[in-house]
Structure 1
Amino acid sequence: MIDHLDHLVLTTADEPACVRFYVEVMGMTLETFGEGRKAFRFGNQKINLHLKGHEFEPKAQAPMPGALDLCFIAAVPLDDVIARLAEKQVPIIEGPVMRTGATSRIRSVYVRDPDLNLIEISELKA
């Protein structure tokens, strides 16, 4: 019945810091839509952004900054990701480590975004 994920919603307590992280560190594109809503676009997906206390309706029952645990597949080798994280002074809290992804084994590093969401960045392995 379900084919793929279109978007998800990230709730932030600090919009400028969140935008900096997802655009400057993660390399996503910021877009504005509707009545000033913001989203981060990457590939064929996007992350809609809600500011804590100013969420758009309808919303999750208890939207909270720092409640997400997300895994992204990188478009570049993981060693390039690690170099970019070092350049942007984003500490790796674990990795590189091998994990099991949705379609294959993955090699991953873990970081935290400004809201302390756990962000896993991975490369596919055979």
Structure 2
Amino acid sequence: MRIDKYIWAIRVAKTRSMASSLCRDGKVEVDGKKVKASKVLKEGEEFTIRKGAIFYTYKVLSFPKSRVGASLVSDYSEDITSKEQLEKLEMIKLANIDRPKGLGRPTKKDRRNWAKSLGDD
């Protein structure tokens, strides 16, 4: 099955065109190499998708005939994203939670406080 179709079928991307644009933009890798949307996946293969600052890794278990419901995704793929990446995601979520929506761009003071809370100097 083509990688763009698989990414769409297991609900990683909302639309098939979004899945193919992930490939076109170089955000999808198989065995450490960037792939085109037409790359054919095999069972047992692992691929990585970069969304924002996070690298999500999936293992192909089998191929669905068409797009599957959210409850059935685990039958076709396994999320093997590293714990470091998931912790990074949590840090990003926590950093954004204290800022009310609609305040606009963060000030220099806000950025300094945010960097201090993350431990950056």
What's the TM-score, normalizing by structure 1? Answer: 0.28
Q: Which has the larger radius of gyration?
A: 2
- Structure with the bigger percentage of helix: 2
Structure whose residues are more often strand by fraction: 1
Specify which structure has the bigger relative contact order, considering alpha-carbon pairs within 8 angstroms and separated by 6 or more residues: 1
